[in-house]
Structure 1
Amino acid sequence: MVRRTRGVVRAVVGATALTAGMVVLAPVAQATTIPVACGETALVAAVNLANSTVNSDTLALAGGCTYALTSPHGGPANGLPVITTPIELLGPATVTRTALLPFRIAEVGPTGSLTLTTSVAFTNGSAAGNGGAIFNRGAVTLTGSSLSGNQATLAGGGLANADTPSGTAPAATFTRSDVLGNTAVLQGGGIYNGLRATLTTSGVTGGPMLISANSAAQGGGIAAVDSTATTLTQTAVTVNHAVLPAGGIYRANGTMTTNNTPVTANTPGNCTGSTPAVPHCTG
């Protein structure tokens, strides 16, 4: 069952006068919380409900629930309906594919944004294309959450910021959100940051964000290819693997900034073959 809890609707300042003493008050979209029962049907219904409004909606997932996706609900490629509005998933909870049929967990459209907060895990996504867990054409934010055990036949085993020649470019922000054990056939086993896209990752002092045990043909941990910016802070990129250099981070063009970001124990090489070189990375 999905239940919507609405806030108080506010009036627009500067309403339009009709006659003396009369005004029209236009409502302003309010953030909405939608409690979601533990189950595939309830989660899909909640996403559809959130997509149907202009509100910024929070889907309060059932604590500790594993939402098992047995079939795609966003076309043949996506487990969840395509995200077209601002939606937050609030955990702790896991969303996972349990079907033999391959599909990613979620796609974010150009008008959408997806936020995973408080231990939301996307696992076992399997994309025939880009973005094993998330294919992003809008905005994605992970805070204290994770992408693990996902795979893609092209780029971005965990997340792919789509190549975007024109229009609004995708952006992804990870804060204390690990990317572990994902696989891509081509580039970016953990994360692919594509044409014109932006990627920002950060951990905390004494507890870096971890990008580890991912694999791809190139850029086992991260591949940033013609992206606008890749900024990595307190992010450990370690024990990732690629067929071609580099196993850790592969960079081709674009701006890249690293701060307190160890890139270690990746094979073959940590950042070998990147042009320009990855800042503060050796091997």
Structure 2
Amino acid sequence: MGRIRTISVTAGAVALAAASSILLPTSAHAAVACNETALIAAINAANTAGGGNVVLTSGCTYTLITPHSSDGNGPNGLPVITTAITLTGDNNIITRSTALLTPAFRIAKVAGTGNLTLKGNVTLNNGKAATNGGGILNFGAVTLTASALTGNTALGKGGGPANADIAAPATGATATLTGSTVSGNTSVGRGGGIYNGLRGTLTTTSSFVNGANTASQGGGIAAVDSTATTLTSTPVSANHALLAAGGIYRLNGTMTVTTSPIGSNTPNNCTSSSPAVPSCVG
């Protein structure tokens, strides 16, 4: 029978292995457990840390049953975003509960110091704001990449995302949508889908603003005294206004529309805008 050889590991080798493990990349993030409490704790921790990436559990619907922040703009389902936070999803929904007696609150508010990014098919749904921004009220920066805002409501302006009206000298709000969808949102005021307010900047690329977004003016989009509104490969269709401009309502500001058809909105597409919306007929 052959002899069994025993190989001993020296203390130095152990120390080297430990040191190597310390130097390994630490970019991986554990997914946030699929419940409201864990999501709120993760966002609070990211704010406290000065920003961060919050990874959502694949396929999870995070249902919010109560607001977790409130101020002069009303209650918010999530803590106010005060730093640069990314919600990295994999087919996720963050929604206000439909249960009876659930209080009204928007899903998220982004402060002037905040920067919120949604990526990886994250949908914000069923927010209900007593003021502006049923889905997101933005005073800072918002980026949606392959994500969506659906079925949100504002009693003020901006059923989905709303770039807040911000007077000088403060920096205007910015919203950037790429490969994203805004649909089925409602506002009592302007901008059923999206509101781009005073000194705001809105940029959309390869996105959709459609599916019965509804408002008094600008069923799809309202840009009012904004700095710039730039639509590229973003159809605005099948939206509705109670007064006029079922597609896009524009009042002042720079607007650029490129390969972005505006049609099948009711009662018309862009009537009453001043100046006219580029490339819009009716």
Tell me which interval the TM-score lies in, with the shorter structure as reference length.
0.7 to 0.9
Q: How many residues align?
A: 252
Query: Which of 29, 45, 48 in structure 1 is aligned with 2:44?
Result: 48
Aligned partner of 1:63 in structure 2 is 58
Query: What is the aligned partner in structure 1 of residue 104 from structure 2?
Result: 102
* TM-score normalised by length of structure 2: 0.86
Show CA shifts across 1:168-213 (max 9, x none): 111000001100100000100000000000000010xxxx534331
Q: What residue number does 1:84 align with?
A: 82
Deviation for aligned residue 1:33: 4.0
Which secondary structure state, in structure 1, belongs to the residue aligned with residue 43 of structure 2?
helix
The answer to whether residue 142 in structure 2 is matched with residue 140 in structure 1 is yes
Does structure 2 retain, via aligned residues, the 8 Å contact 1:263–1:270?
yes
Residue equivalent to 2:4? none
Give the corresponding residue for 2:33: 37
Check conservation: 2:154, 2:187, Cα contact below 8 A.
yes
Partner of 1:165: 167
Please say if residues 31 and 57 of structure 1, whose CA atoms lie closer than 8 Å, have aligned partners that are also in contact.
no
User: Does structure 1 conserve the Cα–Cα contact (< 8 Å) formed by 2:231 and 2:257?
Assistant: yes
Mapped partners of 1:81, 1:202: distance in 2:
28
For residue 53 of structure 1, report the CA deviation from its aligned partner: 1.6
For 2:89 and 2:245, the matched residues in 1 are separated by 34
**What's 1:26 paired with?**
none
Specify which structure has the higher proportion of helix: 2
| Partner Cα distance (2:155, 2:27) in 1 | 37
Shift of 1:227: 0.1
For 1:34 and 1:199, the matched residues in 2 are separated by: 33
The structural deviation recorded for 1:31 is: 7.8
Q: Provide the C-alpha distance between the structure 1 equivalents of 2:111 and 2:28, rounded to a whole number of angstroms.
A: 20
**What's the % identity of the aligned pairs?**
58
Shift of 1:32: 8.3
Instruction: Confirm or deny: 8 A CA contact 1:34 1:58 kept in the other structure.
Output: no
Q: Is 1:118 the equivalent of 2:120?
A: yes
Name whichever of 239-248 and 31-40 sits farther off. Answer: 31-40
Secondary structure in 2 matching 1:140: strand
Matched, 1:177 2:176: no
Equivalent AA in structure 1 for residue 37 of structure 2: T
Gap regions ≥5 residues in structure 2 = 1-21
In the superposition, relative to structure 1, how do residues 260 and 94 fare at CA in structure 2: closer, same or farther (>3 Å)? same
Aligned 1:266-281 pairs, distance under 5 A = 266-281=265-280
One-letter code aligned to 2:114: G
Provide the TM-score with structure 1 as the length reference: 0.86
d(CA) in 2 for partners of 1:184, 1:88: 26
Q: For 1:192-250, what per-residue CA distance to the aligned partner results, in whole angstroms no more than 9, with x for missing partners?
A: 000000000010xxxx5343310001100000000000000000100100011110000
Check conservation: 1:212, 1:237, Cα contact below 8 A. no
Q: Which amino acid aligns with 1:37?
A: A
Distance 1:112 1:164, change over 3 A: same
Q: 1:32 to 1:170 in 2, by over 3 A?
A: farther
**Distance of 2:27 and 2:275 partners within structure 1:** 43
Point out where structure 1 has 5 or more consecutive residues left out of the alignment: 1-6, 9-29
SS in 1 for 2:246: coil
- TM superposition outliers: structure 1 runs of 4+ over 2 Å: 30-35, 208-212
Deviation at 1:268, TM superposition (A): 1.3
1:127 aligns with 2:129: yes
Q: Distance in 1 between matches of 2:63 and 2:242?
A: 32
- Deviation string 1:12-58 (CA, Å, 9 cap, x unpaired) is xxxxxxxxxxxxxxxxxx9884631100000000000000022x411
2:193/2:209 contact within 8 Å kept: no
Larger radius of gyration, structure 1 or 2?
A: 2
What amino acid is aligned across from residue 35 of structure 1 in structure 2?
A: A
